[in-house]
Amino acid sequence: MSVAAKENTVTYENTRLADYTYDNTIDRGSIDIPFALLTLLLLTVGVVMVLSASFARAYYDPGNTTGGNATYYFVRQALFALCGVGVMFVCSRFPMGFYRHISGIVMMVALALLVLVLVPGIGEKANNARRWINLGFTTFQPSEIAKIGVIMFFSVLICRFKDKMRTFRYGIVPFAAILGVVCFLLVLEPHMSAIIIILAIGMVMLFLGGLPLYWFIGGGVAGAALLGIGYALFPYVRERFYAWLNPFADASDAGYQIVQSLYSIGSGGLLGLGLGNSRQKYLYLPEEHNDFIFSVVCEELGFIGAILILALFALLIIRGYWLSMHARDRYSALVGAGITTHLAMQVLLNVAVCTNSIPCTGISLPLFSYGGTALLLQMAELGIILSISRDVPEKR
């Protein structure tokens, strides 16, 4: 780094937010190659699995949306994947000071969209839930923006209140208020899986911010109480718990989806049936190219193939945490750790749902599950981690 560049370098923790500059003469390193390669490898495998998992449903066209084109879902996912790669590299170019400045805007946009999705005519309703906004060429869930909004804005507040995080006024009230508003809007959709993930992300961010442990014990008790309230008030929550505990008791209705998922995983065995040879994807397994694509992975690639894919995710997550730990400032470290935790959480919960380790919820597998806007947002998040990696002094 040149002397001029060193003089222009901003130390985030010792500078007021208004003092941030984005001088293009400041030297930044290259992106982290291992993290980028792992991302691209998982994305490529994910797109191939979308083709394998979706062609039967796309050809049959039960919803009259694909026109009988067997590659309908694959082509769309491949296009979004290509755009996602561009988004990732573009996001990696912006300095972290830029993301800190727009954190509040992202949070406000997320809240506005969560309100708009509840408006008839704007929000699209499906399966008794209003979670999507139709853009014409695709749909997206505002809850996905809310997740990254919580990570970015909580990171700003934690940096701002760093010496006061152990107090109730600064360490609890503003964060609880934000989570309360977000979760209230999600309850109205309803979208319980998003509530679980956002609450978990919020708890992780507060833990990283230095909140005392006893607040997490209280939060765990409150979470259990909220889960009990959800169980009592929402019939579909009770149905999912019943189906989870004994899916074969009602294998043709409430337990149908998880039973078909277990059949798919079990029939794969050690080595799998071979790529493209899944039987359950022939309209037996619902959401085979979306939330339950991991079940098709297990059936076609077997136990060994599934473990290899999970190993790639593990390497990506470990590398994400390593980059976060070596970030040059606290805000970058918090955002990187938050995004990596979000990725790890979604992978863990998706696999747990497919294997019936937890009740069935609508949680997608990052970089694999079909969904264009969700994929773009995931790639943008990974691009932010690559931006963090540019400021890591030594990448090994």
- Please tell me the predicted confidence (pLDDT) of residue 7: 39
Predicted pLDDT at 8: 40
Average of pLDDT values for 320-349?
Answer: 96
Give me 361's structure tokens.
Answer: 């919820």
Chain segment 125-175, per-residue pLDDT in tens: 777 778 888 877 777 889 999 999 999 999 999 999 988 888 888 888 999
Q: Higher pLDDT residue, 366 or 14?
A: 366
pLDDT of residue 335: 97
Average pLDDT over residues 259-283: 94
Q: Give dist(CA 304, CA 325) in Å, integer.
A: 31
pLDDT band at 394 (very low <50, low <70, confident <90, very high): low
Q: How far is CA 152 from the centre of its chain?
A: 14
The predicted structure's pLDDT at residue 17: 38
Model confidence pLDDT, tens digit, residues 216-258: 887 778 777 877 777 777 776 777 788 888 888 888 888 899 9
**Cβ pair 141, 149 in contact under 8 A:** no
Cβ neighbours of residue 141 closer than 8 Å, sequence gap 6 or more: 117, 131, 132, 133, 191, 194, 373, 374
Q: Which residue has the tokens 């083709």?
A: 51
Residue 26 has a pLDDT of 55
**pLDDT tens by residue, 22-75:** 444 456 889 999 999 999 999 999 999 999 999 999 998 776 677 788 999 999
Rounded distance between C-alpha atoms, residue 148 and residue 154, angstroms? 10
Pairing of strands 123-126, 129-134: antiparallel
> Which among 208, 216, 149, 213 is positioned nearest to 333, based on CA atoms?
208
pLDDT > 90? residue 90 = yes
Smallest CA-to-CA distance from 358 within 345, 341, 371, 370 is with: 345
Q: pLDDT tens for residues 7-25?
A: 344 443 443 333 334 444 4
**Mean of pLDDT over the chain:** 87
pLDDT tens column, 104-132: 999 999 999 999 998 887 888 777 778 88
Say what percent of the chain tops pLDDT 90.
Answer: 62
Higher pLDDT, 296 or 213: 296
